[in-house]
Amino acid sequence: MAKKKTVVEEEIIEEIIRADYSDEMSSSFMDYAVSVITDRAIPDVRDGLKPVQRRILWAMKQLGLSSSGDYKKSARVVGETMGKYHPHGDASIYDAMVHMAKDWYFNHPLVDGHGNYGSVEGDGAAASRYTECRLSKISEDMLLSDLDKEIVDFVPNFDNKEKEPTVLPAVIPNILISGTDGIAVGMTSKMPTHNLGEVVDATSALLDDPGLTTDELMNYIKGPDFATGGIIVNKSELPEIYKTGSGKIRVRGKVKAEKGERGRINLVISEIPFTMIGSINTFMDNVAKLVQTKAMPDVVDIKNLSGKEGIRIIIELRKDADVEQNINMLYKKAALEDTYPYNAMLLSKGLPSQMPLDRILREFVEFYRDSQIKKYTTLLAREKRAAEIREGLIAAVDVIDTIIEILRGSNTVAQAKACMMKGATEGIKFRTAACKKIASKLHFTEIQADAILEMKMQKLIGLELNVVVKELETCRKNIDAYTGYLSSKTRLNKKLKQDLAEIKEKYAVPRKTQIVDTEAVVLKKPEIKEEKVYALVNRFGYIKLIDQATMERNSENVTKDYRHVLEVMNTGRLYVFTEEGKCHQIKAKDVPMGRYNDKGVPLEQVSALTTKENHVCVASDFKPKDRLLFATAGGNVKKVQVSEFDSSRRTTDATKLQEGDTVAAVIPLSGKGNIVLITEGGFIVAFDEASISMLKKNSVGVTGIKLNRGDKVIYACETDENGSFVFDEKEYNVDKLDCGKRATRGKPMKN
């Protein structure tokens, strides 16, 4: 008997939705992408903040961390933000808060940090339990003022227990002044900081003339103004970048030459590119590498004396150094010149959009004007209420005896209130008919009646009454002003410009970043004095160059200590042959010079050799008629002219190999001796070089020795003119050995 389905089971079956997997994944991913774009990564054009930044500042406002108050532990702010408004990791919240406190990122930090908040050199901030913070004065004035005037919308937080603003009531374009960066799904935002005074001037100009173009606005905003200073060197490209909302801004550090000790020259770096923040040590390492590779041979010393006073990096040069060349090397090779990827991807009405400069300012001005209209609408309503109350209090003083009679004779507050508002005297006991007659004619408003009922007796004192009269006069003046702002766009714009001018006067600072047009850096090709050097390769595959004097001092031990010892001109080339039949070229100038006992650098670092390849030979400069002997583990040999390897490519095929075969040896031939092949099984052949024809590099070769099953060639060499050679650290002579001929199985080798 079939089991009867329960109601719950039937409901579950009815809720099953059949959907295509790819459609569901696409829909879910789009939901995720939109969430990341709008709720986390991309800033709003109106207040220039991402949600986490906005929530941190709002939480600090709620905690009462004013710029004039005490500091509070950063952990407290992080906890408040995470627990009430931003349900994400505490590390990301703290990182965002620390970022807003860094004066090397911002010309005007939004958070006033106290304690170790890191450094421009890349040091991280201390843990949130150690540092303290409060709001900076500019964030209060620029972003958090007037929140009590219904100026922006509030929405419930994630658990519907708190309220948070959808946007902060910015009074100047924070997106330009503070800049931002964010990475979302499929898009990024990267806005540099700008000069506050210039941005305020542009905003004021746009209030006067809403039709200003980006070109016209750039008469006020010259370009980015980085907290680290520096020099923007592509001024002519900035208009196009600001029109499209995307482009690359080239910025250099500031460096000048000063006289050093003992007649030397000091290159002093006082400002760095904004992109170098956190990577000054990397810059120092880059300079050190340039010195090691002889790209900057004039550098004597490098010192980083940066501190609280600012950046000061000193690069000491020799007396006769080429200053311009060394400065250009810093720009070109050490990243003292870099590009800032400007990308004005911002949220407008909840949607991301690439914005030109005029649109950024126009959308801000629209928001600014609307928010100020809301502000003055709220203030007008408050002033009207305040004036109404004060008019009622003043009128109440004139009939105070009657009001006292009403209060004394009424049974309830409602009865007294009805009398003051409508003259209803029924049920109220008056002592005199005159008071009752006056009471019947009262017509206070409800607001006035409530104020009278709450009025303290001290208000009856003459001086107190004068205060109320003056307050009424102030209210009426404010009402006239607010009504004027709301009824006249011209008057409102004038007021907005006055407010902007006050912000500028209070916070504007001189521009830090210079903007110029310069030509791209061109490096002079260094004049290399041609000289003989020696390339040493150890058994681990590390290579270095030594000069002739060092070679002469260590000539007795060099062949014991190193696998390959090669004479080469410093303008020449080296060739690395591998078991896999490849030839890798190395320019001698790319190999660092070193001392005899220095380790050197891996061959992979100065060539296209990979860690999976095994090199069998390193050879030096060839003459066109030189010849190479290739011997493979499979017993094949061939003779190739070196002109076959004359190529501009770093890597070429050196020989053709049969399947499973590898190169056992590559030998430069002198033509003075015989060719010797020795196998793993101990068989040897010796033959004259002339018995091998000259072949192309893409040929397999001819048989050098016939191998027994499982055997392979492990050694090949050319004897000296006396027939001697060294194998396994022992010297042999082919005339004293019973050697097989070429293309035979050879003879067993006997000691």
Query: How far is it, in rounded angstroms, from Cα 654 to Cα 651?
Result: 9
CA 132 to chain centre: 25
State both tokens at 254.
Answer: 């500031």
Find the catalytic residue in 21, 32, 117, 130: 130
**89-95 contacts, C-beta under 8 A, 24 or more apart:** 90/128, 92/52, 93/52, 93/56, 94/125, 94/128
**Nearest residue to 362 via CA among 142, 175, 154, 110:** 175
Nearest 5°: CA angle at 41, between 37 and 42? 70
Query: How far is it, in rounded angstroms, from Cα 6 to Cα 359?
Result: 61
Active site includes 130? yes
Establish how many alpha carbons lie within 13 A of residue 303's alpha carbon, considering only the half-sphere containing its beta carbon. 12
Establish how many alpha carbons lie within 13 A of residue 498's alpha carbon, considering only the half-sphere containing its beta carbon. 8
Number of H helices, E strands in the chain: 22, 35
Buried/exposed code over 196-231 (b: 16+ C-beta within 10 A; e: otherwise): bbbbbbbbbbbbeeeebebeebbebbbbbbbbbbbb
Query: How far is it, in rounded angstroms, from Cα 751 to Cα 729?
Result: 13
Query: How far is it, in rounded angstroms, from Cα 714 to Cα 702?
Result: 17
Query: How far is it, in rounded angstroms, from Cα 119 to Cα 277?
Result: 9
Query: How far is it, in rounded angstroms, from Cα 52 to Cα 30?
Result: 22
State both tokens at 7.
Answer: 């109601």
State both tokens at 14.
Answer: 């009815």
**Nearest residue to 288 via CA among 279, 277, 296, 278:** 296
Measured CA to CA in angstroms, residue 664 lies from 383, 630, 680, 730 at distances of 98, 8, 11, 20
Three-class SS state of 28: helix
DSSP characters over 349-386:
TTEEEE--HHHHHHHHHHHHHHHHHHHHHHHHHHHHHH
Three-class SS state of 204: helix
Contact 77, 111 (CB under 8 A): no
Active site residues: 130
